[in-house]
Amino acid sequence: MKAYAQYNFDKPTLSSISVSPTSIDLSSGNVTITLSLQASDTSGIATPSTNRGAYIYDDAIVGGTINFSGWELIDGDQYNGTYQSYTSIEATKVPSGNYEINIIANRFIDNAGNSGANLPHLQPPFS
């Protein structure tokens, strides 16, 4: 285990944010959306919260909100790793359009207690 400074005020670095698929085609049925990002920190990322990692909110969606799973480490380690969050979109609940995927960056907390910075919203088209 790496040692870290008692007075570490640096937030985890979150980068390489992606969504797959990049265009959500619901014409053939339900689709699973996967978010991926790289998280690094010299003190190490404490396990991200198991609460939702992201969400889509829009009044046009039946129920208003679609929640993604909590972030899971899929590659690397707590100092530099790739994390994923996913959800299944039900074709009958989401009309065509563009919806913002809001990533909850403060779920990434380092071992010194600093949380991740805000991230840009992703906006893949739904059809």
Query: Is position 124 within any domain?
Result: no
41 vs 47: CA distance, rounded Å: 12
Q: Which of 41, 74, 76, 70 is nearest to 55 (CA)?
A: 70
Q: What is the pLDDT of residues 41-82, one digit of tens each?
A: 999 998 776 677 888 989 999 999 999 998 899 999 999 999
Domain residues for 29?
A: 17-119
Query: Is position 6 within any domain?
Result: no
Query: Is position 31 within any domain?
Result: yes
Q: How confident is the model at residue 3, as a pLDDT?
A: 52
Q: How confident is the model at residue 50, as a pLDDT?
A: 65
Query: Is position 9 within any domain?
Result: no
115 in helix, strand or coil? strand
Query: Is position 32 within any domain?
Result: yes
pTM of the complete model: 0.84
Q: What is the mean pLDDT of residues 32-39?
A: 93
Query: Is position 125 within any domain?
Result: no
Q: What are phi and psi of 85, to 5 degrees?
A: -140, 145
Counting the structural domains of the chain, the total is 1
Q: What are phi and psi of 63, to 5 degrees?
A: 90, -10
